[in-house]
Structure 1
Amino acid sequence: MKNHLFNLLNNLKNAQQAKKSFFFFKNIKLCKKILNLLWKEGFIAGYLIQKSTFFFIKIFLNQKFNINLFYIFAHYKNSYVLSFKELYKINNSLFLLILTTTKGIFTLKECKQKKLGGKLLILIK
């Protein structure tokens, strides 16, 4: 799980720095969920699953937002579980925080709206 997320975010960061308009990545269920959240937040312009081969996703980049820094918390050593009260104290205007909850994978803003706590997964700045 950790390697797929790292590869996706690293490829996204490198493609944005090279000013590419799109890049290809493996079709993995967890990565599609992360891409859906990134699309909602405006970090990417969209993604398309190739119909000829279902093994790759074509990811279209948004040049307005650049990913400068990302950190993946999906290590067994670094399992940070935060309750709703702890999440409510975090200001989310400077970064995008993605959490895994019992209801699925959500951003910090969605967790605050649904009053859910969860385990930290990714921090994108």
Structure 2
Amino acid sequence: MTNDIISNMLTKIRNANLAKHYIVQVESTKITNSIIRVLHKEGFIYKYEEIEKKPYKYLLISLKYKGKEKKRIITELKRISKPGLKVYTNKKEIPKVLGGIGVAILSTSQGVMTDKEARQHGIGGEILCYVW
């Protein structure tokens, strides 16, 4: 069992993506559900589904690829805030990932959201990860 559920989830998605698998299974928690919902909304994953096998809950994530060559939609997942070192930002200093091409996922007082949504709401928070 790992202490950092988010890093574990990002690593599983990264490895499945590099191996060009279509489906990956990760542990279902409140925070992983929120991050996956944001990735789905931003178009990085095809779909996701929560499976419950007592006493565990899992998320089955369908990864997205382009064309016959199966070009990856997600080129990189990078964990920013870690259990040993939390990284916070205020509303004025929210980073732009690759000049706006990528997405920063933040945990805010109003839930997990992208950097664009946080700027629109005028709130900062903990920077969980970067995706591009």
Alpha-carbon contact 1:24-1:58 (below 8 Å) kept: yes
- 92-101 or 6-15, which deviates more: 92-101
Q: Which has the higher strand share?
A: 2
Aligned-residue CA RMSD (Å): 2.2
> What does the per-residue CA deviation read over 1:60-104, in whole Å, with 9 as the maximum and x for residues that have no partner?
001141232412313343x332222222x7465132111111111
TM-score, normalised to structure 1, is 0.83
Structure 1 unaligned segments of length 5 or more: list them.
none
Alignment correspondent of 1:39: 40
Name the aligned partner's letter for residue 120 of structure 2.
Q
Deviating beyond 6 angstroms after TM superposition, the runs of 4 or more aligned structure 1 residues are: none
TM-score, with length taken from structure 2:
0.79
> More helix per residue: 1 or 2?
1
* Corresponding letter in the other structure for 1:12: I
Match of 2:58 among 38, 56, 59: 56
Does structure 2 retain, via aligned residues, the 8 Å contact 1:46–1:61?
A: yes
Contact kept, 8 Å, 1:6 with 1:72, in 2: the verdict is: no
State the percentage of identical aligned residues: 27
